[in-house]
Structure 1
Amino acid sequence: MSNEQKSGERIAKVLARAGVASRRGAEKLIEEGRVTVNGQKLASPALNVTERDRITVDGKPVGEPEKTRLWRYHKPTGLVTTHKDPEGRETVFDKLPKELGRVISVGRLDLNSEGLLLLTNNGELSRALELPSTAWVRRYRVRAFGKVGEPELNKLRKGITAEGVKYGPIEAEVEREQGGNIWLNVALKEGKNREVRKALAAVGLTVNRLIRISYGPFQLGHLEKGEVKAVPERVLRDQCAHLLKELR
């Protein structure tokens, strides 16, 4: 490997920073044979590239990374958080304003969940904000059918195993009762697949509405359903500079 190659960056990291996909997503694109470097199709992500290399994805040139940006989006129900759904369902990205360009979600909300979804044009930032080590709290308002008392809530606080998956501590407080349903305020730090629904099911609750109201320091606030609002650059720098050097 040349000195220039040694001083470059891994191709998946470069694609992530350019907003093509998350680093894992970029590796998948490479495995599918959709990425070329200097006209040669890549078979492995084990390659360093520099600014002199010509990179394409699906035949389209990958440009220089744009300035890192972050948006708050109020996801409505009925949309899946994926760029391409194998079942042909509408996605979050189908509904976003075209002027946003290529963006990546920070985590996901499932089809029937709503509320705050963070979006970014930087796959490295997306990955950093999702890592358990970042320890950002995700907060939800949840409506569920059933009843719980302190014993069940304590099980959640200590961490619970549901369907063979171990979940970390989940803070849950009953807000009010509504007929056969209860409203809860739920907070957690992991964000595993359908974690709130599965963990609450393990203590006898069936979730029928789930609204994410915050992700770390970022709040849903008064965003209307389907509305997107950019996080001011100063706020992005204040909250995320410790995660990405280029934000400093």
Structure 2
Amino acid sequence: MSGTEDKDAGPGERIAKALAHAGVASRREAERLITEGRVAVNGKVLDTPAFKVTADDLITVDGKLVGPRPPTRLWRYHKPAGLVTTHADPQGRETVFSKLPPELGRVISVGRLDLNSEGLMLLTNDGELARVLELPATAWTRRYRVRAFGDADEAALAKLAGGVTVEGVAYGPVDVAVDRRTGANVWLTVGIKEGKNREVRKVLAHVGLNVNRLLRTAYGPFQLGALAPGAVEEVRLSVLREQMGKLYPLGADGHPLKAGAASAPAQPDGVRGPGRAQRRERKGPSHADRRRRP
């Protein structure tokens, strides 16, 4: 199917978005699958991610039928250091996803933690939810406990609250609090809202601090808490719906809603303002209903 037949003005949602919703892949990964000729609709191979599909269309990936869209689910995972956040590592290193319980099925990480970082990682079966939660416009704070080597100049750290440019990359506000000093190291609490590649390490190196341990303790309203390294715990649907608010409305069955509608595909691109999730960011969910250890 070519771009001239993509039903771009018709009903439905774009195929890449539909695949993300179905938990097949992130939207970016879905676009790659399409360009590689691995996605077909009603038996015809696609060559454009702009093609729109409805519930009546039969979608296959690598010849396998994509089933009905499952309810949106979210898990908290305590990533240990030494794992890479990818489904397949070309260097053969152990990955986050190889350590998860198989009953989770295919899940997508909300953002990443690098090889040597540890702590809270959110996992979901809904690629569109992952995309929304990663957007800087969502304005959720990622909070970290950081140990770093060097002399912590509190005046220099305070200036980071206004943002900083490092090696040509502009970083938004970085909130840093000095917790305690232990010998040549200092313990810090760091809050950021963008999550650019190795942002905390690069920004602190800019002010003379070499990070030697980095633990994410919160992502928006969701907290690491007492979750043990390697453990994964599902967030109850009632908690997830409350925290998402208008940011990504979910129905009682766990399927995304249009704002003000009883049932329809989600339209997160149209969300204009912060919902309860942002206002309640520091409170976080009190419980989750399932704990597993891989």
Shorter-chain TM-score: which interval? Answer: over 0.9
Aligned positions, number: 248
Runs (4+) of structure 1 exceeding 2 A deviation are: 1-5, 243-248
Match of 2:32 in 1: 28
Relative CO higher for 1 or 2, CA cutoff 8 Å, sep ≥ 6?
1
Alignment of 1:25-64 (within 5 A): 25-64=29-68
Aligned CA RMSD, in angstroms, stands at 1.6
Q: Distance in 2 between matches of 1:108 and 1:49?
A: 30
One-letter amino acid of the structure 2 residue matched with residue 17 of structure 1: H
SS of the residue corresponding to residue 10 of structure 2 reads helix
User: What 5-or-longer segments of structure 1 have no aligned partner?
Assistant: none
1:77 corresponds in structure 2 to 81
Does the Cα contact within 8 Å between 1:115 and 1:213 map onto a contact in 2? yes
Identify, as 1 or 2, the structure richer in strand.
Answer: 1
* Contact 1:5/1:49 (8 A) holds in 2: no
- Are 2:192 and 1:188 equivalent residues in the alignment? yes
Aligned to 2:172: 168
User: What amino acid does structure 2 have at the position aligned with 1:202?
Assistant: H
Shift of 1:197: 0.4
Q: CA deviation at 1:43?
A: 1.5
1:244 Cα deviation from its structure 2 partner: 2.4
User: Per-residue CA shift, 1:148-190, capped at 9, x if unaligned?
Assistant: 2222112211111112111001000111111211110000111
* 1:130 corresponds to: 134
Within the candidate set 200, 203, 226, 1:199 is matched to: 203
Is 1:107 matched up with 2:100? no
Query: Identity over aligned residues, as a percent?
Result: 66
Q: CA deviation at 1:204?
A: 0.6
| Equivalent-residue separation in structure 2 for 1:232 and 1:46 (angstroms) | 34
Please give the per-residue CA displacement for 1:47-103, whole angstroms capped at 9, x wherever unaligned: 001122211122221111111110000000111111121222111110000000111
Please, what TM-score do these two structures have when normalized by structure 2? 0.81
Give the match for residue 67 of structure 1. Answer: 71
> Which residue number corresponds to residue 243 of structure 1?
247
TM superposition score normalised by structure 1: 0.95
Q: Distance in 2 between matches of 1:194 and 1:46?
A: 32
Mapped partners of 2:26, 2:81: distance in 1: 24
Partners of 1:158 and 1:168 within 8 A in 2: yes
Following the alignment from structure 2 to structure 1, what is the Cα–Cα distance between the partners of residues 247 and 34? Answer: 26
